[in-house]
Amino acid sequence: DAKTTQPPSMDCAEGRAANLPCNHSTISGNEYVYWYRQIHSQGPQYIIHGLKNNETNEMASLIITEDRKSSTLILPHATLRDTAVYYCIVFSKAAGNKLTFGGGTRVLVKP
Amino acid sequence: DAGVIQSPRHEVTEMGQEVTLRCKPISGHNSLFWYRQTMMRGLELLIYFNNNVPIDDSGMPEDRFSAKMPNASFSTLKIQPSEPRDSAVYFCASSFGGGELFFGEGSRLTVL
């Protein structure tokens, strides 16, 4: 019962912005969009989340479309250390307070 | 804070043996999660606890798997008897109850 769709992989040039898309066309009004990443051999790491407004923190920016059916995670200046699998997840406390990970997007940052 | 602490980091055992994985969540967190990751199935949620009470164990593969949380600072995931198909990386995570989970470094289990 995947609630998000992401491309399986993408490449990005070091120093350039990386734009990672995610479709969540069945998202409900009380569901948030969360992004995590997993660097090889490590546990997943929280990046950012949002409900309907765009969000920015020290790691990334999250752009959510007005209809909330899709979003884009932006890594403004990708570095080699940003090479990882990035997961887009729809989350609702009301639905059980649990995060369900899909396949994610494998991002390779190239020099 | 030291973050979520898992032990052992690596475990190699033989089929039929009992395996116990341990997790110490971040102090003050009231939710704890056990995930399993394999190449074939990705990251799967096995079970999670709120305030030390198991809330959803629908991801536990079968009766050979059990998890306990006797207090707010400790949880175990036990596999008895273990089988080769249980080989995976097992992650523990904790949170304040929202969607921001803090993961441990994982326990890599190999069952021969």
Percentage of chain B with pLDDT > 70? 99
**B45 contact residues in A (CB cutoff 8 A):** 98-101
Residue with tokens 């039929």: B16
Q: What does the pLDDT average to over B59-72?
A: 94
Q: Output the pLDDT for position A111.
A: 95
Could you give the C-alpha distances from A72 to A5, A62, A66, B4, in angstroms and in order? 12, 6, 12, 29
Q: How many Cα atoms sit within 13 Å of A21 on the Cβ side?
A: 9
Q: What is the pLDDT of residues B66-108, one digit of tens each?
A: 999 999 999 999 999 999 999 999 999 999 988 999 999 999 9
Contact indicator for B7, B105 with CB cutoff of 8 Å: no
Cβ atoms of residues B67 and B78 within 8 Å: yes
> Which of A:25-54 have CB within 8 Å of B?
32, 34, 36, 38, 41-46, 49
Q: Residues with Cβ < 8 Å from A107, sequence gap 6 or more?
A: A9, A10, A11, A12, A18, A20, A78, A82, A83, A84, A85, A86
pLDDT tens for each residue of B15-25: 999 999 999 99
- Kindly determine whether residue A99 and residue B42, on different chains, have CB atoms separated by under 8 Å: no
Best A55, A57, A98 residue to mutate vs chain B (most B CBs within 10 Å) = A98
Per-residue pLDDT reduced to its tens digit, B1-54? 689 999 999 999 999 999 999 999 999 999 999 999 999 999 999 999 999 999
- Residues in chain A with pLDDT values less than 50: 1
CA gap A35, B83 in Å, rounded: 33
The nearest alpha carbon in chain A to B106 belongs to A43
Give the integer Cα–Cα distance in Å for A60 and A82: 11
pLDDT at A1: 47
